[in-house]
Chain A
Amino acid sequence: MTEDLVSIFIMGKRHVVPSGLTIMSAMEHAGYRLIRGAGCRGGFCGACATVYRVPGDYRLQIGLACQTVIQPEMHLAQIPFYPGHRADYSLDDLQPTFEAVVTTYPELLRCLSCGTCTKACPQDIDVKQYMAEAMRGDIAAVADRSFDCIMCGLCVSRCPAEEVQSNIAILCRRLYGKYLAPGAEHLAKRVLEIEEGMFDDDLASMKSLGEEELRRMYDERDIEPE
């Protein structure tokens, strides 16, 4: 990594840090010990939502602090928490229908299709589009399109209609997974077999083997081809 230094502004305050760092390591280099705003440090948990602006551009940009490299003279602040609304529901009581989704989240229908959420998403998900699909009651489409959502809340923070897109999305994914995805017959069959004790003898006899015998079986076991 180069030793070049750049200045950045963390919540308005100037710090000089080595170039090439992520926003997260730049903050740490500047002396912050993060408590909020850091979770997985690998782009999976959505804890590190960050808003920033670079010189010469009036527009706010967004990114994950653990995944975004700093730019010279960048102004930034983290949004580690956003008080979005989660409806009170239990999946068992719902049906996989448009009615269920819209009764759970009536605000869904207030979406203006403005597309601000899509611009905000660090996962490059077309959030506006899955909201449109939700409004059409196409639960399977929402489930598929929103799949990579890390629930960072950035779309929520920017929405003029005060939608909680990520919560609508997880509701649809769960409805899809539980009710709409085709069932796996081989799995249901295996569960029955286990409950009937079909493998108990096999397992018991394997457990009773000494290490040497087990090792021989292991070394000689056949491997399913690719």
Chain B
Amino acid sequence: MAEATHDIEIRNLYKIFGPNAAKHVESVRNGMTKEELKAQHNHVLGLDDINLTIPAGKIQVVMGLSGSGKSTLIRHINRLIDPTAGELLFDGQDIAKMSETELREFRRQRTGMVFQKFALFPHWTVLENTTYGLHVRGVSRREAEERARRWITRVGLEGFEESYPNQLSGGMQQRVGLARALTNDAEILLMDEAFSALDPLIRTDMQSVLLDLQSELKKTIVFITHDLDEALRLGERIAILRDGKIIQQGTGEQIVLRPKDDYIASFVRDVRRGHVISVRTIMRKGAHAETPVTLPASTLLEEAARAMTNAEVSRANITGRDGQHVGMVTLSKCVAEMIAPDDTEEVDPESQVA
């Protein structure tokens, strides 16, 4: 199994759509906006100076509204779209500079992709669809089918090997899409709004399938979504795009706790904060409380509050990764942070008396 070991480093990436794209990069570097580029030169600014390190073996979510450039960005990683300027470094190579043969090899050996509208091959069965990546590589049919069957079982489609895509429901079709990508056994998995076309229940289901697989596979997954709940559930790292620019990146917790601007704040307003924020970020460092409750620093606020309420205490000690004491939280602080509208956030945690 190909466990991911290389980060993907995107450096100063620009994409401009239009016949004279290269000519306009300099103006964009000097601050020309998407609107100005469109109005003055009739070119579309797709990506504007993207710098992003996608960590090996983690799920990197890219979020943003429609038209913000999410699909454009993810398609640069396997170069379905050619950059106008910039680098995409992976395992000592610049994807942007690969020759056609190198690129084909890279796509075959190192990547798999899942699409929003599934994009299955309608004239092939589930099994034939799933073996496609190996077929392209020239792996023998017998071996390909053996490997494909394993993944078909893993995504819960056993018994449907001989069905055609049009005989399956949307959720099942996307399982085929996932199995097809996984059968490639590659360390990078690209998922462009892979679950957006599914019903909410099936969607949550598929998220669980993905998390479950990832806990064992440890691939580098780039997951595109415009749904914050999905982003927070899946993303170990989240980057937010607007008009082709990354306007904030970090963990879900960091983004919910400290949205960089009103645009992001409006995104995160309705989120279940207690479900995202951990006690680490609100604890009083170094302080110690007389209480029977001790919690790890990664405990979410909701869980911490529940633990304290169940024990009928109002404080808990916090321990770090190695189990040693690092600080304490109070129940009221937990609850305050869970319901905090933006203004209470201004209160300095240190000044609050427990």
Asked whether A and B interact, the reply is no
Which B positions have Cβ atoms within 8 angstroms of A?
A: none
